[in-house]
Amino acid sequence: MIVKKSALEIEKMAAAGAVLVATMRMLEGKIKPGVSTAELDVVAERFIRSQGAVPSFKGYRGFPGSICASPNSMIVHGIPGPYRLKRSDIISIDIGVTLDGWVADAARTFALTDASPEVANLLSATEQALFAGVEQCRVGNRVGDVSHAIQRVAEGAGLAVVRSLVGHGVGKDMHEDPQVPNFGQPGKGPVLEEGMVLAIEPMTTAGRAAVRVASDGWAIFSQDDSLAAHFEFTVAVTADGPRILTPWHLKDACEDPQPLPETATPGL
Q: Read out DSSP for 151-195?
A: HHHHHHTTPEEPSS--EEE-SSSSSEEEEE-SS--TT-SPBP-TT
The yes or no reply on residue 9 touching Mg ion (CB under 5 A) is no
Exposure of 1 by Cβ count < 10 A (0-12 exposed, 13-18 middle, 19+ buried)?
Answer: exposed
Helices (H) and strands (E) in the chain, counts: 4, 15
Contact string 26-65 vs Mg ion (x = CB under 5 A): ----------------------------------------
Angstrom distance (rounded) from CA 182 to CA 164: 10
Query: Binding-site residue total for Mg ion (CB under 5 A)?
Result: 4
Among 105, 119, 200, 254, binds Mg ion (CB under 5 A): 105
In whole angstroms, the minimum distance from the beta carbon of 95 to Mg ion comes to 7
Report the Cα 142 to chain-centroid distance in Å: 21
In whole angstroms, the minimum distance from the beta carbon of 232 to Mg ion comes to 5
The yes or no reply on residue 94 touching Mg ion (CB under 5 A) is yes
In whole angstroms, the minimum distance from the beta carbon of 113 to Mg ion comes to 25
Restricting to residues 107-166, name those near Mg ion by CB under 5 A.
107
Which span (101-109, 110-118, 143-151, 210-218) binds Mg ion, by CB under 5 A?
A: 101-109
Single-letter residue type at 113: T
In whole angstroms, the minimum distance from the beta carbon of 107 to Mg ion comes to 5
- Which of 167/195 has CB closer to Mg ion? 167
Contact string 199-238 vs Mg ion (x = CB under 5 A): ---------------------------------x------
Angstrom distance (rounded) from CA 102 to CA 116: 38
Report the Cα 253 to chain-centroid distance in Å: 17
The yes or no reply on residue 176 touching Mg ion (CB under 5 A) is no
**Residues of the shown chain interacting with Mg ion in the complex, contacts defined by CB under 5 A:** 94, 105, 107, 232
